[in-house]
Each structure stands twice: as C-alpha cells, then as structure tokens.
Structure 1
Amino acid sequence: MRFAGEVVILPLPDFADLSSGPRVPTSFPPNSLSLRWLAELVRRHEERHPPLDEARAHAEARAVAGDLEARVLRRAAVLEAAGGWREAIQRWQGRARLLLVLACVLAFVFGFGAAAGALGDGTRPVNVVWTLGGLLGVHLLSLLLWLASLMLQGRAQGGALQHGGLLGRAWLAVTGWLDRSREAADLPLALGGLLGSGRSAAWGVGAANHALWFGALSGATLGVLALLATRRYGFVWETTILPADTFVALSAALGALPGMLGFPVPDAATVLASGDAPMLDEAGRRAWAGWLVGAMTIYGVLPRLALALLCFGLWRRATRALALDLGRPGYARLRPLLMPDSERIGVRDPEPAAMPHPQRHAAVAHGDGGAVAVALELGDDLAWPHALAGAHDAAVALAWQDGGRLDSREQRRSVRARFAAHPPVRLVVAVDARQTPDRGSLGLIAELADHAQATRIWLAGVDAAAEQAGRLRQWREGLAGIGLGEAAALADAGAACGWLERGDEAR
C-alpha cells in the first residue's frame, strides 16, 4: 500500500470575549492562538498600509493592566472589525476542520482498499511476509522520515510551516483557494510569522499527520479483519535463498508483543509447514490471521494513535506559551503609544475648601532668629545663595542668614524645627517664578510664614516667557490665597535683599 502524506491541520480554539479590561464584543480568549494570530494580521496590514491608529483602540489598550503584549492584543481585538479578520479566521478554521474530516474519511477508505488489494479475493494463497510489508512498510518509512525531520528542525531555522512537507503546503494552498477574499489573503503568512522557527508548528503538523495515518491503518486493519471473517485464505511464505529458520525467527519476533496482548501466534511447526504449501489447516489459518491482525494493531494503529495524542498535547502546551515577537518594527512602534512613560491622570486629590493661612505662634512676637532667606525648589540655573547675595554688596549679604535649599523632605523638616526653636524676625522665601505654583509649595510657604514675624516671597527667575505664560499672576493669586498680599511678593532681587537688611513697617 502506498499511502503517504502529511496534512497541516492546526487546531484553533473557539472565539470568546477577553476577560480583562473594557468589554470588546469582537475579542478572543486572552491566551489563545487566535488572538495572537489576529495581532499578526493587524501588524502585517499596518506595515503595508497606514496604521489603524484609532483613539478608542489605544485608550482601551492602555486601560488593560499588564505588559506591552497584553495591550497589543487588546488593541488588535478592538481593531479587528476594520479588516474583517475575525470572520476570515473563523472561515479558515471551519475549512481546516472540514478538510481534516474529509482527509480522515479518505484515509480510512484508502486503508480498507489497500487491505483488499493486499489479501486478494481468496483464490490464491496470501504471502504473509509480503502482505505485512505492503501494509506496514510505507507507514514505517513515513514514521522514520517524520522523526528525522523533527530532529533536523531543531537545528535548522526558517518558516515552521514549511516542515509540514509537500502535502502540508498543498493543504494550505487548497485552504486558501477556497476563500480568495482580501481578508483571508494574509492568514497563512501571518500564522507562519507567529509560529516562527519553533517546534509548535511541528507538533500541530505531527498531530494531523499521525491522525491521518491512524485513520489509514485503522481502515487497513478493519479491512483485513473483515476479509478474513468473510473469505477463506491460505497463508504461505516463499523464499529462494533464505533458510526456513529465518521465517521462524521473524514470525516469533513480530508476534512477541501481540502475543502478550492475547493475539494468536503461529508456532514453529506451523511456520515450517507454511513454507512447503499454503496453510489450509483451520488452526494454522487462525494463527496466521491473528498474527497478521495483531502485528498491524501493535506496530501500526497503536503507535500512530499514541503519537497523535502526544503531538496534540505538545501543540496545545506550545500554543499556550506562545508570545508575540515584540522586537518586530510593527510592535516596537506601538510601545510609546501603549506604554507611555507618563500619562495625564487628572486631579487625584480634591482641592481643599481653603488654603492654610499663617496663624502666628506666640513665640513669633519675640523672634530671635534674625533675618533668614531660604530657597524653595529653585531651578539649577539659579545658584543659591549667590542668586540673591549678588544683588547687593558683600556687607549687605552678611546681614542675613542662609537657611539653605528646601528641595528634600529632610531639608524641610530641618528648617521647620529650626524656625520653631528660633523664629526669624524677617524671612524671605525664594521661589522659581517660571514654575506653576502648586498647593504643596503654597502650603509650605504658609507654614514657614507662620513662624516668622514678617515674610516676603522673592519671585526669582522672572523672564519674558514667565510673564507671557501668566506665571507672576498665578503666584500673586496663590500667595493671596494663603494670606500674603500684593506687598509680600517681590520680583526684584535687590528689593528682597534690601528688605532682609532693613525691613519695613509692613508686616
């Protein structure tokens, strides 16, 4: 019997909704091959056409908690309606299953026919060695070739689907020919790009290949059993150069495993008698018939069934662990869109009904801390204290104390403790007027002013850009909100430095 072929049937899970994030009616299971197949289709489409950068798709993708792959899969699930790929995958899946069923039926029929051709119509004796070799020989050769290709694939690189053999590629061509729609054009290429050079495709191909051989050998075995049950056959072995002991040893070796499972095995006397003339004795015929059916079952049907189940299990495990190649340019382009370094999240804390106001501690009336200047989050280009000290001569610069920069939590805690112990008579807080005032900065200014007899705010770094952006107005409004009026805001370094030295009546 000549029945050789490897058909590529890749089982696909059913479609369903994603379980996380906003509900998308046209989505797939989050760990399915189909969803990653869809992502590959979207990638291939966007590499040849303008990107499908829909704002809704990106927003829903960023809402998914997870890594870049999870967000790429969500985006693909939202965008699939634009290309009709979900329906194309479902059609491909239906055609693949239909072709698999038809191929298994044909394999069974061909196997049954091969059994009829090997045994004949009963008018001539059956050569047991030739019959068994004809029914199992091609199967054993195909199995050895499959094992060799599997080992070679582990060393070679290239498209994984190409390891399905000629008939496997023909199956892909026939499957694609049945649907020539635009949506289905990229299905095989996208699947091959997804599976890459790993062994996941080889397991899927192997499962289908062994399933077909299981069908063919089951048909052949059932055909042999049906013909032996309805016709009378005589069995013989023939040779010109080999001794009779060779066939005795061969029949005993091949019948060892079937005999353990209860299949009848001819004894040495029956084997020797069959070499002189066709075995017509009823007991001898039954022994040869059981030996033939047992050998086909043990060496043909059961190994193919076991390999089909093994390959299918490995295929399922490999596809569950499948991951997108995020290094491809089509996916790398999406990283800053789906995994931005920062996102606008809006106001997280509600604005207080009123900002804190300086309440003046009792110790402030007897402040002994002198004149102090501190810097609150000044830009790096504003050197402290030189930015303020440089506005006057050295004598004036020595008339006040440098309270330091207040950039860290520790620095702020330290200056609070210092002012609580020694309240300053005059306090200048230097702020960067180019930055927008926030509640945290204004609250700290109010807390520091609460410990001083008089406070002024030096708006450092004033430039045309800050004035154009309205930063000065924002600072004055913010300071007014914490109880520091217009007179407390100084935009000139000289005025701030002079106030530290001399003070004034305004408190």
Structure 2
Amino acid sequence: MTAPVSLSLFEARWLAEVVRRHEEHHGLLEDAAEPAAASAAAPAAVPDFEGRILCRAERLGARQGWRAAILAWRRRARTLLLVALALALVLGFGAAAGVLGDGSRPVNVVWTLGGLLGVHALSLLLWLAAMALQGRGGGRIRGGGSAGWVWLRLVAFFDRSRTAADLPLALGGLLGRGRLAGWGIGAASHALWLAALLGATGGVLLLLATRRYGFVWETTILPARSFVDLSAAVGALPALLGFPVPDAAMVTASGEAPLLDEAGRRAWAGWLVGAMVVYGVLPRLLLALCCAGLWRRGLGRLRLDLSRPGYARLRAVLMPGSARIGVSDPAPAVLPCPPRPASPAGHGAAAVAVAIELGDDLAWPPAVAEGAEAGAGGTRGRGAWEDGGRLDSREQRRAVLGRLAARPPARLLVAVDARQTPDRGTLGLVAELAACAVATRVWLCAGAHAPVGRTAQWRAGLGRIGLDAAALFEDAAGVRAWLETPEADDA
C-alpha cells in the first residue's frame, strides 16, 4: 500500500482558502452527523491558530475531494509545463530555420536579428510594464507574462469538474494581495521564453555549422555609417564575452554585396550568435532565476489572512479558552482501602443509605421496605435506616462525609448507577464513605439495564478498595433484608 501524497505548505494554505470560500457561501461543513470532528481534531495537532486551520482544512478537503483536486492540479501543471518547454524549444529551432533559410539567398543581418529577438524584446517590455503597474489587491492574479498566463489557463481548462471549479479563485485569493502571483507566473513565462531562445540559438549554430551563408544589409535612405554604428553598438556587450564583431570595413563591404570571404562570414555569424546569447538567452535566464527566487522567498513569508470572516469565526472553536484535558496521571495499581471503626458509635444511626450520581430516571429514596412508614429523615420498617440523600455535588459530598464521620453508622448502603463506568473518582468516594461505617454494602441500581460486563467492572473496582463480592447487591430484596435487619452480620 503506497503512502498518501502530502501537500506542500503552500498547497495546504491553498486548500484552506478553498474551504474558507465554500464555507463563507454555504456555511460550516460540519453537521449534526459529524459534530465538529475536523475542528475537534485540529487543536490536538498544532498550537497556533493558522496551523489548526490547516489541519482542519486537510481533513475537510480530503472528505470533499478538494485535496485530490489540488494534487491533480499539481501533476497537470508540471506535465503541461514540461510539454510547453519542449514545444518552445522546437518552435525556437523552427524560427531560426525560417529566418536563415537554406543558404540559397543572402542573409539580411538586420532582418534576421529582428526576426529572432523582436518578439522576445516586445514581450519583455510588456512584462516589465505589467509588473510596474501591477496592483496589490483584489483577489485576482495579475502580471507574470502572457506565456505564463496561457500555461495557467491551460492547467485550469483540462479539469472543468465541479470540485476543481473553486481552485483558481481560491488561488487568486491567496496570492492576489501582492506581487507573489506575478513572480510565480513570471518564472514560468521566462522559462518558456528561455527554452524558445535556446532552441533558436541552437538552431542558428547548427545551421551556421552545416550551411554556407552570405551576410548583407540593405537600405535605400540610410547612410552606410548608420549600419557601422549599429553593428558596433549591438556587438559591444557580446564582445566582452569574446564574441567577434565585424569591423567598419566588413560592414561597409556587406552593404554592397554578400560578404563571401571566410573571415567576414565568421565575424557576422559570431556577431549574430553573440547578440542572441547576450540580448536573448541571458536576460531570460536571469529573470527566470530572479522570479523563481522571489517566488520561493514569497512562499516562505506567505500566511493566511486570518482577519477574513471565514477564519475569524473559527477562532472560538479552534482556540478555546479552556479545554478538557482528560486523565492527567495513570491510575495507581492499588487504590487505598478504607479503615473502618471497630464498633459502631453509640450515638450513630443503625443504617444509612446514600446515592452517588444516580440517573434522573432512578427515584430516591428507594422503596425497599414492605409496608414501610415514611419517617422524618428516613423510612421505618422492621428496622430503621436513614436517608443520606443524593451525593451529586461537591458540597453534598462534604456535608455527608462530615456527618458520617461525626456519627459513624453501623451499616452504610451506597447506591450507584450500574449503567455508569466505575471510575477512580466514584471508587474513591465509596472508599471515603466506607471509612465512616462498620459495614458497607454497594447496591447496583438499574443493573438489568447495564451494558454487558459492567457488573464485572464494578466488582473488580470495589475489590481494589477492599470491598469483596459479598458487599455487592444487585437486587432490592437483598438491600431490604440487609438494611432492616439489625442483627445482620456486618463483618
């Protein structure tokens, strides 16, 4: 079984934006059937608010299909970019072959250079203008270059499913507040232009190496000196890298007829290749690296806008002021066993019955005495027992413990709800109560409705505090006999 593909931090924030946009229009995704499952799981994972939002979005996105849509978008974007780079390389080579021709006619150096670098120069100027005028808001992706735009639109075009419909808008909401989108699309655009220029430069080199070309320049109204100055200006930077530049005599001779001598052809060929490298390949390479670096730097600084209403309303859920921490320490192997008075105090009650956290459907005090008369504070039958009341609050427990400690009874009945789990708190209270009586019994109320195995749990829990199986009652008859028989053996 293969491990699931993980999202990058940028893609996780993108997914959070998808979830936010959906919930702002359609309400929170959690419902009664799944009560805040994703929200409840998030706080345990990470401490900060944004991290909890990302954790929640990961769970909800996996359920709604958005996570898989983003992973598919990533695969599609990479595949289309590789295909576009290969196509740009081929088109660049084709452009070089079309401009130079098959060598049967002279090559006009001005038209050749303009044909190979003209569109590139125009698109570069447009990119610079777009980046200079790029806005800083609005939730739309602006700038970046036309080639990058086409690539991004193609990525979205090939998945028109309903799940992926919100992905471009969420991406715009995440990146549209600054220039980050422009840097990302610009990196892709410059990479495509770089591939095209590399293809064109490679095509020029290959054709110049395998065919014989003659170079000319032509004009009707311009003086020859203008082309001498032009060739010198264009070749100045390539000359710094070692590319040859035609001298004034070669330029002047090329205007009268195609320059056919070997030195002249090599000078013009080097001048052309140098111009391609310096004014085409190198600018696009540097800009692609610069945009990629700024893109990665921007991703490192990218954060969710937590002031948006869709995130702000989650703060109370994901960052609660208090939380239930559960069990903070392991249960001891042996619970403390209650000490018992050696003999009942002369002024204590013969029998007392108390209830610990009984369900609301269980009546108290219990009608366990046949033909009993209601007396003040208890029930009177053949024997006498006193109602100690329900012990549901801390104050009630303290009051009863104080009263029993002052007047220890001979017999103490503790009624518990058999449907509940015998936790340490309940067993500890039973132990404290048992320490105030000579004999203690525990009555499992509603035992017939208890889950399977719950009686065994109570029996084991009571055994850990020193109350054996004989101290456990499961029926009212046994309770009645024990409470109302003063001569009962309380050992």
In the other structure, the counterpart of 2:282 is 302
Match of 1:45 among 5, 13, 22: 22
Distance 1:470 1:479, change over 3 A: same
Amino acid at match of 2:70: I
1:113 aligns with 2:94: yes
- Show the counterpart of 1:59: 40
Cα deviations across residues 182-225 of structure 1 (Å, max 9, x unaligned)?
A: 22111111111111221111111110110011011111111111
Residue 201 of structure 2, aligned match among 215, 221, 233 = 221
Percent identical among aligned pairs is 64
SS in structure 1 at match of 2:142: helix
Q: Does 1:129 align with 2:110?
A: yes
8 Å contact 1:69–1:326 — kept in the other structure? yes
Contact 1:234 1:280 in 2 (8 A): yes
How far apart, CA to CA, are the structure 1 residues paired with 2:55 and 2:272? 56
Give matches, 1:269-280, under 5 Å. Answer: 269-280=249-260
* CA–CA distance in structure 1, aligned partners of residues 18 and 400 of structure 2: 55
Partner residue, 2:214: 234
Among 173, 183, 189, the residue aligned to 2:169: 189
* Aligned mates of 2:300, 2:206 — CA distance in 1: 43
8 Å contact 1:26–1:78 — kept in the other structure? no
How far, CA to CA, are the matches of 2:63 and 2:194 in structure 1? Answer: 42
- TM-superposition CA deviations, 1:409-453 (whole Å, max 9, x none): xxxxxxxxxxxxxxxxxxxxxxxxxxxxxxxxxxxxxxxxxxxxx
- 1:38 maps to amino acid: L
Task: Determine the C-alpha separation between the residues in 1 that align with 2:5 and 2:43.
Answer: 18
For 2:462, the equivalent position in structure 1 comes to: none
Q: 1:75 aligns with which of 37, 56, 81?
A: 56
Provide TM-score, normalisation by structure 1: 0.63
**Structure 1 match to 2:7:** 28
Aligned length: 349
- Alpha-carbon spacing, 1:253–1:173, altered in 2? closer, same or farther (3 Å): closer
What stretches of structure 1 of length at least 5 have no aligned partner?
1-15, 18-24, 356-466, 487-507
Aligned counterparts of 1:73 and 1:151: Cα–Cα separation in 2: 33
TM-score, normalised relative to structure 2: 0.65
Alpha carbons 2:131, 2:144 under 8 Å: kept? no
C-alpha separation in 2, matches of 1:122 and 1:93: 45
Q: How does 1:312-323 map to 2 (within 5 A)?
A: 312-323=292-303
- Take 1:183 and 1:26, find their aligned partners in 2: how far apart are those partners? 19
Unmatched segments (≥5 aa) in structure 2: 339-389, 409-491
Match of 2:70 among 86, 89, 108: 89
Cα distance in 2 for partners of 1:262, 1:285 equals: 17
SS at 2:21 equivalent: helix
Pairing of 1:42-441 with structure 2 (within 5 A): 42-53=19-30, 54=34, 55-153=36-134, 155-164=135-144, 168-346=148-326, 348=328
> What is the RMSD computed on CA atoms of the aligned residues?
2.8
Cα deviation for residue 277 of structure 1 reads 1.4
On the 8 A contact 1:62/1:71 being kept in 2, the answer is: yes
Counterpart-to-counterpart distance in 2, 1:484 and 1:203: 81
Q: Deviations over 1:372-421 (max 9, x none)?
A: xxxxxxxxxxxxxxxxxxxxxxxxxxxxxxxxxxxxxxxxxxxxxxxxxx
CA drift at 1:480: 5.3
Q: What secondary structure sits across from 1:181 in the alignment?
A: coil
Distance 1:159 1:348, change over 3 A: closer
The correspondence of residues 8-19 of structure 1 with structure 2, limited to 5 A, is none
**Once the two structures are superposed, what CA deviation does each residue of 1:251-296 show, in whole Å capped at 9, x if it has no partner?**
1222122222222211121111112211111110011001101110
In 1, Cα distance between equivalents of 2:72 and 2:245: 50
1:172–1:188: 8 Å Cα contact kept in structure 2?
Answer: no
Equivalent of residue 473 in structure 1, options 388, 396, 405? 396
Deviation at 1:470, TM superposition (A): 5.3
Residues 306-358 of structure 1, C-alpha deviations (whole Å, 9 max, x = no match):
11111111111111221111111211121100001122234657999699xxx
- The Cα offsets for residues 463-491 of structure 1, whole Å up to 9 and x where unpaired, read as xxxx998565244136459x6779xxxxx
Deviating beyond 4 angstroms after TM superposition, the runs of 4 or more aligned structure 1 residues are 164-170, 346-355, 467-472, 478-481, 483-486
Q: Kindly state the Cα deviation for residue 127 of structure 1 after the two structures are TM-superposed.
A: 1.2
Contact 1:326 1:332 in 2 (8 A): yes
Judged with a 3 Å threshold, the aligned counterparts in structure 2 of structure 1 residues 470 and 222 are, in CA distance, closer, same or farther, namely closer
Secondary structure, in 3 states, of the residue corresponding to 1:180? coil
Check 1:485–1:322 CA distance in 2 against 1; reply closer, same or farther (3 A cut).
farther
Distance 1:320 1:110 in 2: 35
CA contact (8 A) 1:26 1:80 kept: no
SS, match of residue 143 in structure 2: helix
